[in-house]
Amino acid sequence: MQRVEWSAFLSVGNARIDQDHQRLFEILNRLADAEARRERAVVAAAVEEMARYAGEHFAREEELMEAIRYPLLAEHRRQHRELAAKVEAWRTRVARRWHPWHGGTFFAVLAHWLVSHILEDDRMIADFCRTGKVGHRFRRAKAKTPPPAPLREVGWGQRPIREARTPMSLA
């Protein structure tokens, strides 16, 4: 299988979160090699490390979302829990009943989830930090309160949101 390479296109504008994402790609790419995917010990080690590191990353990301009062935190947290449950199921599957195709399937499923999650859901957090608005997928779930002013300290997004918004004057 082809490796899943990190690129600046996947950046969410927060150095720590971007580093975490790059590390998740590194762990995942251990299974890109066909020979490695067939070895139970290699797959088990990658699944184990993915479970551990993803848990740490999710905790950091959720802490940042709490700090900015991200209105879709509960939904985002649910997505994290679902992936953690899938990784745990893979860990059990590899330990109990090994099949040589487990590594390739784990690689494909996780690569798709990770790239999609970063581009769709994590990017919405960065957009929220820049604009104070929730992304297009969840317009009906808009926040009723604006985000706090010191978003720059949290470091999400590439541009800070404006401290105060005033309507344009027609005069």
pLDDT in tens, the chain (171 residues): 788 888 999 999 899 999 999 999 999 998 877 677 778 888 889 889 999 999 999 999 999 999 999 999 999 999 999 999 999 998 898 888 888 777 888 889 999 999 999 999 999 998 898 888 886 554 444 444 444 444 444 455 544 333 333 333 233
Residue 170 lies in a domain: no
| The predicted structure's pLDDT at residue 146 | 47
Please give the residue range of the domain that contains residue 114: 14-154
**Residue 72 within any structural domain of the chain:** yes
Asked whether residue 164 is assigned to any structural domain, the reply reads no
Cα gap 84→82, rounded to integer Å: 5
Percent of the chain with pLDDT over 70: 77
4 is a domain residue: no
Tokens of 62: 């959720």
Whole-model pTM over 0.85: no
Residue 62: what are its φ and ψ, rounded to 5°?
-70, -35
Residues 118, 21: contact at Cβ < 8 Å?
yes
The pLDDT, as a whole number, for residue 169 is: 29
- The answer to the question of residue 65 being in a domain is yes
How high is the pLDDT of residue 160?
39
Instruction: Specify if 171 maps to a domain.
Output: no
Q: Residue 2: what are its φ and ψ, rounded to 5°?
A: -80, 140
How far is Cα 160 from Cα 170, in angstroms, rounded to an integer?
A: 26
Residue 5 domain-assigned? Answer: no
- Per-residue model confidence (pLDDT) at position 143: 43
Number of domains in the chain: 1
Q: What pLDDT was estimated at residue 75?
A: 95
Q: How far apart are CA 148 and CA 41, in angstroms?
A: 47
Burial of 147 (0-12, 13-18, 19+ CB in 10 A): buried
- Is 101 inside a domain boundary? yes
CATH number at residue 76: 1.20.120.50
